[in-house]
Amino acid sequence: MLSIGDSVYIEEILDDQVNIYKSRLVEEFDHTIHLDIPFSEITGRNALFQRESIYKVYFLTKKSLLYSSNLTYKHPIKDPIPVLVFSKPANSELKTEQRRQFFRIATSTEITVLPLEDEFSPFETLSQDISAGGVAINVPQSLNFKPDQKIKLSITLKYENSMVEEVIVESTIVRTQESETFGKHLLSLMFNGLSSQARQKIVKYTLEQQRIHIHSMKVDG
Protein backbone atom coordinates (compact mmCIF):
# COMPACT_ATOMS: atom_id res chain seq x y z
CA MET A 1 0.00 0.00 0.00
CA LEU A 2 2.88 2.32 0.85
CA SER A 3 5.99 2.80 -1.26
CA ILE A 4 9.30 4.62 -1.10
CA GLY A 5 8.88 8.27 -2.02
CA ASP A 6 5.32 8.66 -0.71
CA SER A 7 4.62 12.06 0.82
CA VAL A 8 4.21 12.02 4.61
CA TYR A 9 2.54 14.53 6.93
CA ILE A 10 2.93 14.23 10.70
CA GLU A 11 0.43 15.85 13.05
CA GLU A 12 1.72 17.18 16.37
CA ILE A 13 -0.55 18.72 19.02
CA LEU A 14 1.13 20.97 21.59
CA ASP A 15 -0.86 23.14 24.00
CA ASP A 16 -3.96 22.87 21.78
CA GLN A 17 -1.94 24.01 18.76
CA VAL A 18 -1.83 21.71 15.74
CA ASN A 19 1.47 21.58 13.88
CA ILE A 20 1.88 19.69 10.62
CA TYR A 21 5.30 18.57 9.42
CA LYS A 22 6.07 17.40 5.89
CA SER A 23 8.34 14.46 5.18
CA ARG A 24 8.88 11.56 2.78
CA LEU A 25 9.06 7.80 3.16
CA VAL A 26 12.65 6.78 2.35
CA GLU A 27 13.03 3.23 3.75
CA GLU A 28 10.81 0.33 4.85
CA PHE A 29 11.86 -2.51 7.13
CA ASP A 30 10.02 -5.36 8.87
CA HIS A 31 8.98 -3.35 11.91
CA THR A 32 10.03 0.25 11.24
CA ILE A 33 10.02 2.93 8.57
CA HIS A 34 12.53 5.71 7.94
CA LEU A 35 11.36 9.22 7.12
CA ASP A 36 13.22 12.26 5.85
CA ILE A 37 13.68 14.85 8.61
CA PRO A 38 10.18 16.40 8.87
CA PHE A 39 9.88 20.17 8.61
CA SER A 40 7.17 22.79 8.89
CA GLU A 41 6.23 24.35 5.56
CA ILE A 42 5.09 27.41 7.50
CA THR A 43 8.17 28.12 9.62
CA GLY A 44 10.76 26.04 7.76
CA ARG A 45 11.89 24.52 11.06
CA ASN A 46 12.63 20.83 11.56
CA ALA A 47 10.41 18.82 13.87
CA LEU A 48 11.54 17.92 17.39
CA PHE A 49 9.56 14.84 18.43
CA GLN A 50 9.59 13.05 21.77
CA ARG A 51 10.88 9.49 21.63
CA GLU A 52 8.29 6.74 22.19
CA SER A 53 5.49 9.26 21.68
CA ILE A 54 2.59 8.52 19.35
CA TYR A 55 1.78 10.79 16.40
CA LYS A 56 -0.88 10.70 13.72
CA VAL A 57 0.87 10.19 10.40
CA TYR A 58 -0.69 10.70 6.97
CA PHE A 59 0.65 8.98 3.85
CA LEU A 60 -0.19 10.49 0.46
CA THR A 61 0.72 7.89 -2.16
CA LYS A 62 1.82 8.40 -5.74
CA LYS A 63 -1.69 7.29 -6.79
CA SER A 64 -3.11 10.16 -4.68
CA LEU A 65 -4.55 7.74 -2.11
CA LEU A 66 -4.51 9.01 1.46
CA TYR A 67 -3.97 6.82 4.52
CA SER A 68 -3.44 7.59 8.17
CA SER A 69 -2.17 5.67 11.19
CA ASN A 70 -1.03 6.39 14.74
CA LEU A 71 2.67 5.59 14.85
CA THR A 72 5.35 5.64 17.55
CA TYR A 73 8.44 7.77 17.02
CA LYS A 74 11.48 5.69 17.95
CA HIS A 75 14.72 7.61 17.43
CA PRO A 76 16.81 9.52 14.89
CA ILE A 77 19.59 8.08 12.71
CA LYS A 78 22.40 10.26 11.33
CA ASP A 79 24.26 7.88 9.01
CA PRO A 80 24.33 7.37 6.08
CA ILE A 81 21.61 10.07 5.80
CA PRO A 82 19.66 11.77 8.61
CA VAL A 83 16.25 10.14 9.09
CA LEU A 84 13.67 9.61 11.82
CA VAL A 85 12.60 6.06 12.70
CA PHE A 86 8.90 5.36 13.29
CA SER A 87 7.04 2.14 13.96
CA LYS A 88 5.76 0.53 10.77
CA PRO A 89 1.99 0.27 10.35
CA ALA A 90 0.46 -3.00 9.25
CA ASN A 91 -1.81 -2.68 6.23
CA SER A 92 -4.77 -3.33 8.55
CA GLU A 93 -3.71 -0.32 10.65
CA LEU A 94 -3.82 2.07 7.70
CA LYS A 95 -7.08 4.00 7.70
CA THR A 96 -8.31 5.26 4.34
CA GLU A 97 -8.97 8.98 4.46
CA GLN A 98 -11.09 11.02 2.09
CA ARG A 99 -8.76 13.24 0.07
CA ARG A 100 -11.29 16.07 0.19
CA GLN A 101 -11.04 16.00 3.99
CA PHE A 102 -7.25 16.21 3.89
CA PHE A 103 -6.40 19.26 6.02
CA ARG A 104 -9.72 20.80 5.08
CA ILE A 105 -10.09 24.32 6.43
CA ALA A 106 -13.08 26.64 6.37
CA THR A 107 -11.86 29.77 4.59
CA SER A 108 -13.01 32.22 1.93
CA THR A 109 -10.64 31.78 -0.99
CA GLU A 110 -11.13 33.65 -4.27
CA ILE A 111 -12.01 31.26 -7.09
CA THR A 112 -12.85 31.79 -10.74
CA VAL A 113 -15.13 29.07 -12.14
CA LEU A 114 -14.48 28.24 -15.80
CA PRO A 115 -16.32 25.96 -18.24
CA LEU A 116 -14.51 23.15 -20.01
CA GLU A 117 -16.39 24.14 -23.16
CA ASP A 118 -19.09 26.84 -23.34
CA GLU A 119 -21.66 25.52 -20.87
CA PHE A 120 -21.70 28.79 -18.92
CA SER A 121 -19.88 32.09 -18.66
CA PRO A 122 -16.91 32.28 -16.26
CA PHE A 123 -17.72 33.80 -12.87
CA GLU A 124 -16.00 34.55 -9.58
CA THR A 125 -16.98 33.16 -6.21
CA LEU A 126 -15.56 32.28 -2.77
CA SER A 127 -14.82 28.92 -1.24
CA GLN A 128 -16.57 27.71 1.88
CA ASP A 129 -13.76 25.28 2.63
CA ILE A 130 -10.72 23.94 0.83
CA SER A 131 -8.28 21.05 1.15
CA ALA A 132 -5.63 19.32 -0.94
CA GLY A 133 -8.34 17.01 -2.27
CA GLY A 134 -11.15 19.39 -3.14
CA VAL A 135 -13.17 22.48 -2.38
CA ALA A 136 -16.73 23.62 -1.60
CA ILE A 137 -17.98 26.76 -3.38
CA ASN A 138 -21.16 28.79 -3.60
CA VAL A 139 -22.69 29.20 -7.06
CA PRO A 140 -25.84 30.95 -8.35
CA GLN A 141 -28.97 28.77 -8.27
CA SER A 142 -29.66 29.88 -11.84
CA LEU A 143 -26.77 27.70 -13.02
CA ASN A 144 -27.76 24.06 -13.42
CA PHE A 145 -24.71 22.19 -12.14
CA LYS A 146 -25.02 18.43 -11.66
CA PRO A 147 -23.00 15.70 -9.89
CA ASP A 148 -20.20 14.20 -12.02
CA GLN A 149 -20.04 17.36 -14.14
CA LYS A 150 -16.50 18.58 -14.75
CA ILE A 151 -15.47 22.23 -14.55
CA LYS A 152 -12.22 24.15 -14.25
CA LEU A 153 -11.22 26.24 -11.22
CA SER A 154 -8.68 29.02 -10.97
CA ILE A 155 -7.87 29.28 -7.26
CA THR A 156 -6.10 32.35 -5.86
CA LEU A 157 -4.02 31.52 -2.77
CA LYS A 158 -3.04 34.56 -0.70
CA TYR A 159 -0.41 33.82 1.93
CA GLU A 160 0.36 35.72 5.11
CA ASN A 161 3.62 37.07 3.68
CA SER A 162 1.63 38.78 0.86
CA MET A 163 2.74 36.16 -1.66
CA VAL A 164 -0.02 35.20 -4.11
CA GLU A 165 -0.11 31.97 -6.12
CA GLU A 166 -2.63 30.61 -8.59
CA VAL A 167 -3.67 26.99 -9.01
CA ILE A 168 -5.72 25.98 -12.05
CA VAL A 169 -7.29 22.53 -11.83
CA GLU A 170 -10.04 20.52 -13.46
CA SER A 171 -12.57 19.38 -10.87
CA THR A 172 -15.54 17.03 -10.65
CA ILE A 173 -18.76 17.98 -8.85
CA VAL A 174 -19.34 15.41 -6.11
CA ARG A 175 -22.67 16.77 -4.89
CA THR A 176 -24.88 19.84 -4.88
CA GLN A 177 -26.96 21.10 -1.97
CA GLU A 178 -28.73 24.16 -0.69
CA SER A 179 -26.40 26.87 0.56
CA GLU A 180 -26.84 28.96 3.67
CA THR A 181 -26.32 31.93 1.35
CA PHE A 182 -29.58 33.11 -0.21
CA GLY A 183 -29.91 32.39 -3.93
CA LYS A 184 -26.91 30.03 -3.97
CA HIS A 185 -26.18 26.34 -4.25
CA LEU A 186 -23.20 24.77 -2.50
CA LEU A 187 -21.05 22.61 -4.77
CA SER A 188 -18.63 20.05 -3.33
CA LEU A 189 -15.85 19.36 -5.82
CA MET A 190 -12.98 16.89 -6.03
CA PHE A 191 -9.76 17.91 -7.79
CA ASN A 192 -8.76 15.80 -10.80
CA GLY A 193 -5.13 15.16 -11.68
CA LEU A 194 -3.75 17.80 -9.34
CA SER A 195 0.00 18.05 -9.85
CA SER A 196 2.32 17.46 -6.93
CA GLN A 197 3.48 21.08 -7.10
CA ALA A 198 -0.10 22.39 -7.06
CA ARG A 199 -1.03 20.07 -4.21
CA GLN A 200 1.89 21.34 -2.14
CA LYS A 201 0.75 24.94 -2.71
CA ILE A 202 -2.74 24.13 -1.42
CA VAL A 203 -1.44 22.12 1.53
CA LYS A 204 0.86 25.00 2.49
CA TYR A 205 -2.08 27.41 2.24
CA THR A 206 -4.45 25.25 4.31
CA LEU A 207 -1.82 24.69 7.00
CA GLU A 208 -1.21 28.43 7.24
CA GLN A 209 -4.94 29.14 7.44
CA GLN A 210 -5.30 26.44 10.09
CA ARG A 211 -2.55 28.00 12.18
CA ILE A 212 -4.15 31.47 11.87
CA HIS A 213 -7.53 30.04 12.89
CA ILE A 214 -6.14 28.23 15.92
CA HIS A 215 -4.20 31.34 16.99
CA SER A 216 -7.31 33.52 16.73
CA MET A 217 -9.29 31.03 18.84
CA LYS A 218 -6.63 31.12 21.54
CA VAL A 219 -6.58 34.93 21.51
CA ASP A 220 -10.38 35.14 21.67
CA GLY A 221 -10.46 32.55 24.43
Q: Of 16-20, 39-43, 62-66, which one has max mean pLDDT?
A: 62-66
Q: What is the pLDDT of residues 164-200, one digit of tens each?
A: 999 999 999 988 988 888 889 999 998 888 887 888 7
Answer whether 0.75 is exceeded by the pTM: no
Residue 89 pLDDT > 70: yes
Separation CA 38–CA 181 (nearest Å): 40
Average pLDDT, the chain: 87
Banded model confidence at residue 212, pLDDT cuts 50, 70, 90: confident
* 188 in the same domain as 121: yes
The CATH number assigned to the domain holding 209 equals 2.40.10.220
Residue 47 pLDDT > 60: yes
Residue 218 pLDDT > 90: no
pLDDT at 156: 97
* 207 in the same domain as 114: yes
Domain count, the chain: 2
DSSP secondary structure, 2-62, as one string: --TT-EEEEEEEETTEEEEEEEEEEEE-SSEEEEEPPB-TTT-PBP-PPTT-EEEEEEE-T
